[in-house]
Structure formats: structure tokens, C-alpha cells
Amino acid sequence: MYRVMLVDDEAGVRSSIKAKIDWHAAGYRIDSEASNGAEALQPLSERPLPDVLITDVRMPRLDGIDLIKTCKEAYPGLRIIVLSGYSDFEYMKATIQLGVKDYLLKPVVRGELTALLARLAEELEADREREREQAQEELKQNQPLQMMQEQLLWRLVKDEWFSIPAVKERMQRLQLAALAEEGVRAQFVTAEMRIPPGRLDDWNERKDLLHLAFRMICRETAEKRGSIYTIYEVSHPAMMHFLIHLEETRRPQGFTESFVRELKRNIKTFLRLESVVGIGEPINGLRRTQGRLCVQYAGVESRHRVYGQGGGRRNDAGHGACLYAGSGAEADAGH
């Protein structure tokens, strides 16, 4: 369903246009209205951008020409339909100079409006298809990089590196330079998806799909926040680890807790499953132990608590290591 903003200083004209056709059947809905250009600019900047703007050219305060000019600069992808009368030749010439190609003469004819919207719908769908293809292509290109980033972070956690300069150089190449800075503040979080006994009736195929969905939700939730790095270890498919870069100038207080709440909510909403989350203490710098760049990691105990001390112990269910940085502190996995 494509969204439309309708701008005209005459309420009767707006009502007439809304009554001309079955907008829903045409694949559109009138999402917002305004009586002049100035009134239209505020919702354009504050709400999700409509797909189509239908605007008159003669209006008080801010006319259609200035509105179109502003939209062309701020929202170049917005489709614009101009409404004009036979006496508005100079206005129409100005809109053509601004690159507007679609217009309707007042009073609007039902057939012309229907035909124009149908053509725009085809163009909008083609745009969306190109965006989907571009997103898929970017995903394909980014997947190898993401896998190498996760492998590097996992090796750091397991303390498998011996040369700090080599690690930092590798981080630079894998676009992880922000984590290689001196005194970087970071925090580890681990989420474990819990599948109740009998939920899948031993259908391993469905379990694999559930694990895939779990990983996708975790990654999408992290990507929306920015500077949260995911780490997945294939031997523990029901767990996902996160390295959160705590940039003091950008991160609000409680950022990690807010992320955890959103993550748990998404898992519950989309997978209908509960999750256990362990939160580690913030640390200054990826810890150096015996000259190595590394961090501690500890097990998720069966009573669902995460401990700073521990040598990678596993719980009774055989679940893998819960990443954790810090010493002696304790975080409730029920966050």
C-alpha cells in the first residue's frame, strides 16, 4: 500500500479528490493532508516519508513551487503530482523546470487520476524491487566480511592470538579499527534461546530453521543500534554473543539494558520463545593477559546466572561459553 500526502488550500478540493476513486483498490491510502506548503513540511520531516505528494501550486504562506523546491532537495526520491488550473501556466512552467513530470488539471478527472496512479504504482514497485536487489547484493558482499569479523572476535575471546600488533592490523583490515583503539570501552552480552521440551517434537529440520531465525533476529536487532558486533559459534546454535562498543559521547546511560530488553522482546514476539541473557561488566580496553589482547569468558550456569570468574565451565545442558569481561562481578541472566 503506497502512502499519499494531499496538499491544497481548499478543503473542498481535497475532499473531491479523496472521493474520486477507490484509493485502497488502487493500492494507495491518503496518509496525511495539509492546507499549504508550510503546513506540509512539518509532517514530512517528522513522520515516515509518503510515496507520493499531490500538491496544488497556488497556496498561501508557502506555495507549491517552494514546497516542490524544498522536497526536491530534501527528499529526491519522493514522487510529486502537481494540481493546477488552466490559468496557472507560469506556475506549471516553473514546476517543469524543477523536474516535475506528473500533473493533473483541475477539476481532476477520475480516469486521468486512476491512470496516473497506476503508472506511478508500477514505477514505485520497480524502485522497491531495485532496492531489494541492492540490499541482497550488499548482504552477499558483507557476509564474508561479517564471518571474518566474528571469527577474529571469537579467537580474541578464546585467547588464541599472541601478537598485539598483528591483531590490531587484522582489525584494521576487517573494519574493526574502533575496537583496536587504546582504552576502548566494551561490554559483552550473551543471549541463549530456550526451546521448551517437546516444542518441536524432535523435528531437527524445524530446529535448524528456528536457529537460523534466532540468528537473523539477533543480528538485525544489533545492526539497528550500531557499533554492536555479533559473534556466532557454530557448535552452539542456540546462543549468540554480542560485543557492545560503549562510546561514552554517543551511548546513553542504560544503552546495554535497553538493547537487551529489545532483543528479548523480539525473540519472544517473532519466535514465541523465552531467552536467557547474560550481561558482563563494562571493561576499559580488551584485556591484556600475559601480553595478549584477550578477554575472559565463563559458562552459563544451570541456575541462569553469569559469573565473572570461571574457566569456561559448561552447564549441565552442554551449552557453550558465555562471553564475559570483568572479574568478580555477577550479572543476572534474567535481564
Q: Would you list the DSSP string of 105-148?
A: ESSPPHHHHHHHHHHHHHHHHHHHHHHHHHHHHHHHHHHHHHHH
Cα angle vertex 114, ends 112, 115, to 5°?
Answer: 65
Q: Residue 329: what pLDDT?
A: 32
Closest CA to 298 of 326, 261, 272, 259: 326
What residue has cell string 473531491? 16
DSSP letter at 5 equals E
The whole-angstrom separation of Cα 65 and Cα 320 is: 62
268-295 burial by CB neighbour count: b if 16+ within 10 A, else e? Answer: eeeeebebbbbbbeebeebbeeeebbbb
**What's the pLDDT score for residue 7?**
95
Asked if residues 320 and 235 have their Cβ atoms less than 8 Å apart, the reply is yes
Give the single-character DSSP code of 226: S
Distance between CA atoms of 280 and 243, rounded to whole angstroms? Answer: 10
Instruction: Please name which of 76, 78, 75, 57 lies closest in space to residue 66, comparing C-alpha atoms.
Output: 57
Q: What is the pLDDT of residue 257?
A: 87
Q: Which residues of the chain carry a pLDDT beneath 70?
A: 86-87, 135-136, 138-143, 157-163, 183, 198-206, 248-253, 285-335
pLDDT at residue 6, rounded to an integer: 96
Give the number of other CB atoms < 10 A from CB of residue 231. 20
Q: What's the pLDDT score for residue 157?
A: 67
**Cα–Cα distance, 74 to 167 (Å, whole number):** 42
Separation in Å, CA 34 to CA 1, 64, 95, 258 = 21, 12, 19, 36
Give the integer Cα–Cα distance in Å for 23 and 25. 5
Structure confidence at residue 313 (pLDDT): 32
Predicted pLDDT at 70 = 92
- Lookup: cell for 293: 589482547
For residue 4, list its beta bridge partners. 30, 52
Cβ count within 10 A of residue 159: 16
Q: What amino acid occupies position 252?
A: P
Residues 52, 24: Cα–Cα separation, whole Å: 14
Residue 158, pLDDT score: 67
- Is residue 74 a contact partner of residue 42, using CB atoms and an 8 Å limit? no
Closest listed residue to residue 271, CA positions, set 229, 182, 222, 211: 211
